[in-house]
Amino acid sequence: MYIVINGGGKVGSFLAKTLSKRGHDVAVIERREELCKKLASEIPECLIISGDGCDIQFQKDAGTDHADVFASVTGDDDDNLVACRLAKVAFKVPRTVARVNNPKNERIFHELGVDAVSTTTVIVHMIEEEATIGDVITLLPLKKGRLALVEVELPTDHCKVCNKQLATLSLPEECVLVSIIRGDDVLIPKGTTTLQPGDTIVALTAVEKEEELKKVLI
């Protein structure tokens, strides 16, 4: 597939690296020039466009006119909506996916024909219907920054918690596992659930416990 990503920050670069490694052709549009240089050195196989993804010319430069998927994953919901609508209306992209930073905006996105999600892993699933491998990513800050919804991706090798039941793990007290994404399946965690290599865990945790959660799981 040919995929255009608007936004080259943590989420955008993660998606670009993951999808590129899986053999997809990827272009990234990023307005910050210094970040473009960094992306160009880290993922030279991707096309990096320095510009505004809400501008039709920069979308054209990125090849949006022949993209299979356009994903806008900046930290600004308005920009993500505008960029996706531009890709859909001007370039007739079959599928547009947007990162939603404020869940209250999700309904608006859907009403305008844009698939809107708030987790990085689900974005990748929606693009190619596969799981991702990575680290700890903060998906959504909650309660004025005191809580965070995070995803933790278990390694496929040397996984210290794999083949163990959740009930046997010493998780931080202020941490609740919300779901486990395994391939195409989303599992509701139970004490008897056994973790497997490559599982993606979505957890609700106190911000100060994120590092402790990482040490337990990875």
pTM of this prediction? 0.57
Distance CA 49, CA 59 (A): 9
The stretches in the chain having pLDDT less than 70 are 118-145
Q: What is the pLDDT of residue 7?
A: 95
Q: What is the pLDDT of residue 139?
A: 47
Q: What is the pLDDT of residue 122?
A: 58
Mind listing the domains of the chain with CATH numbers? 2-128 (3.40.50.720), 136-217 (3.30.70.1450)
| Residue whose C-alpha is closest to residue 120's, from 10, 39, 3 | 10
